[in-house]
Amino acid sequence: MKRIGLFLLTNIAVLAVAMITMNLLGVGSYMQGTSLDLGNLFAFAAIIGFAGSFVSLAMSKWLAKMSVGAQVIKQPRNADEQWLVETVRRQAEKAGIGMPEVAIYEGAEPNAFATGMTKNSALVAVSTGLLRHMRQNEVEAVLGHEVAHIANGDMVTMALLQGVVNTFVIFFAKIVAYVVDRVVLKNESEGHSIAFIVVDIVAQILFGILASMITMWFSRKREFHADNGGAYLAGKENMIAALQRLQTMQPGELPDQMAAFGISARPSNIGDLFRSHPPLEKRIEALRATTQDQLKVA
């Protein structure tokens, strides 16, 4: 129920931002009588597409805390929490970014993620399962991986990419719906018919599946960069050890908006093209082939 509530709240915020933006920019209806205004349609698609990705990005820290129950360490209560905060602080300084918030969330399985709208206002969260089942040097490498995601600007880059693909999904879906409605079914009434709405929904689903292949491909590439950055911040052997440890365990699930920035993810049920993370063996192989002078962030 909590995730449904957060989903509805996010979508209400997206619609509000989109409507305000369209009013400010003077974007009119993309349906002019029985004709399709491609200029207004593209503007509509871009506003809706980017509003969705950037509202989610702007709300990402709050959504993360609410969805997984992450508790920010404001004042360390024990040596483990003190070590977590100091390790992230040291890595953030080395990476040249502002100190992220550090949080812990309840989860029997190991995982961690980073999120936030800017490099200097981010959040790094780890599960209790990760702290319980991994050695300290391995946890340090996982933290380095997440700090590297922040330093590399992956959250903003993914939001931009998502905005672009959202735009084209909406744009082309409505063109397909218009062609089916007006040309194939020869509907001559003004406005949206039931056929237009149904075809639009189906086309958005199909184009959305194709678009997710693009975003997942990019996500997999960013994982290699984050591993490289984690090796730079915490040591190459520690990063390899952390990935090897993850090979022996089932990663904890994360909400969709954070899954791409987790340390690991479960394989997709619909094929490797829809994986947000490369196989762990390929990540380990890539790190082993990397020389010390090739390790870096940003």
Residues with catalytic roles: 146
Q: What residues form DSSP beta bridges with 32? A: 35
57 three-class SS: helix
Annotated binding-site ranges for Zn(2+): 145, 149, 223
Burial of 145: CB neighbours in 10 Å, binned 0-12, 13-18, 19+: buried
Nearest to 220 by CA among 259, 252, 189: 259
Annotated binding-site ranges: 145, 149, 223
**DSSP label of 269:** T
Q: How far apart are CA 72 and CA 64, in angstroms?
A: 11
Q: How far apart are CA 112 and CA 131, in angstroms?
A: 10
Nearest to 271 by CA among 279, 263, 282: 279
For β-strands 31-32 and 35-36, DSSP reports them as antiparallel
Give the start-end residues of each E strand in the chain: 31-32, 35-36, 71-72, 101-105, 112-118, 121-127
